[in-house]
Amino acid sequence: MKKVQHQWGTLGRRAMMTAVAVALTLGVAMPERADARSLEEAKESGKLIVGVSGDNPPFGFIDTSGTQKGYDAEIAEAFAKSLGLQVQYAQLSLAARIPSLLAQKVDILIAGLGMTEERAKSVQFSVPYLETKMYVVGNKDTKIASPADLASVSVGTPRSSTLDTLLSAVAPKSTDIRRFDDDSATIQSLLSGQVTAIAANQFAIDRLESLAPGTYENKIVIGGVWYGAATRPGEKDWNKAFNDFFQSYKTTDEYRALFKKWIKNDVPKFPTELKGITFAAQ
């Protein structure tokens, strides 16, 4: 098979090498892929390799039968179908998402990845496909009415996540921020009393309510974030393919039903621009 050369530029190469080094340091288990593929090579193989979250409902999770489920999984399936391909999932921890992409182990990330200016230096984002509000969540008896109230408490957050970034930006320097591997571990830290509160997306309160009814509540909003699919810098074929797909797909009844099923809301108005982030590969 012909090897495809990509125009990364100095920043892209440096970001890729740094991310891979981080992944190796953390002992991340990478899906087996030898090198980056063009869209045409993926079509020749008949498979689309998608990096997804393995434990981040409702975006991505494994059900009791071992099947990948969630909003992102259904978006990935629809994208693959639009290309005439079968989807192959690579379940990734939050910290392994970008390293796995830059290490050329997956074709694309559809993995609840928040669109931030910092991340946009390392990956190419697509058009946004979802917005999520982020909260500090705690026991109903705990007083947390503003970020200042975090100064004397311990707060859990998934490491290397948008939540980690947002919490770190608003919490006082004296806040005891404790970082965990994923959302489940973070939620468990609250349930077990390891921390006083956690940083969590708008869906975490439903998980907590099912585990400890009437105990927890959303305390304060710490931000909101749009999610996008991510590809490697300079890969115009993958970026354009997803953008073209989603711009059409978001107008369909199938998508509206999918959105209502997982997000429990009506489809929002998607932004045409975000500060410091481009949606089209250059």
Write the pLDDT tens digit of every residue in 205-261.
999 999 999 999 999 999 999 999 999 999 999 999 999 999 999 999 999 999 999
Distance CA 199, CA 167 (A): 7
pLDDT over threshold 70, residue 32: no
Identify the CA nearest to 112 among candidates 134, 138, 88: 134
Angle of helix 71-83 relative to helix 253-263, nearest 10 degrees, comes to: 160
Rounded mean pLDDT, 46-62: 92
DSSP conformational letter for 266: -
**What CATH superfamily is the domain 9-131+227-263?**
Periplasmic binding protein-like II (3.40.190.10)
Whether 34 has a pLDDT exceeding 50, the answer reads no
pLDDT at 262: 96
Rounded to the nearest integer, the mean pLDDT of the chain is 88
Distance separating alpha carbons of residues 147 and 18, to the nearest angstrom: 32
For residues 78-109, b (16+ Cβ closer than 10 Å) or e, as one string? bbbebeebebbbbbbbbbbbbbbbbbbbbbbb
CA–CA dist 171, 264 (Å, integer): 30
The C-alpha atoms of residue 122 and residue 233 are separated, in whole angstroms, by 7
Q: What is the pLDDT confidence band of residue 8, given thresholds at 50, 70 and 90?
A: very low
Q: Tell me what the mean pLDDT of segment 18-32 comes to.
A: 40
Residues 6+ apart with CB under 8 A from 22: 95, 99
pLDDT of residue 35: 61
> Which H helix or E strand runs over 211?
helix 204-211
**Which CATH number, 3.60.10.10, 3.65.10.10, 3.40.50.2300, 3.40.190.10, labels domain 132-224?**
3.40.190.10
At 10, the pLDDT band (50, 70, 90 cuts) reads very low
86: confidence class by pLDDT, cuts 50, 70, 90: very high
Closest Cα partner for 162 from 213, 230, 108? 230
- What is the Rg, in whole angstroms, of the alpha carbon atoms belonging to the chain? 19
CATH 3.40.190.10 residue ranges of the chain are: 9-131+227-263, 132-224
**Which 8-state DSSP code applies to residue 119?**
G
Q: For 34-48, 86-100, 107-121, 237-251, which range has the lowest pLDDT when averaged over its residues?
A: 34-48
115-147 b/e (C-beta count within 10 Å ≥ 16 → b): bbeebbebbbbbbbbbbbebbbbbbeeeebeeb
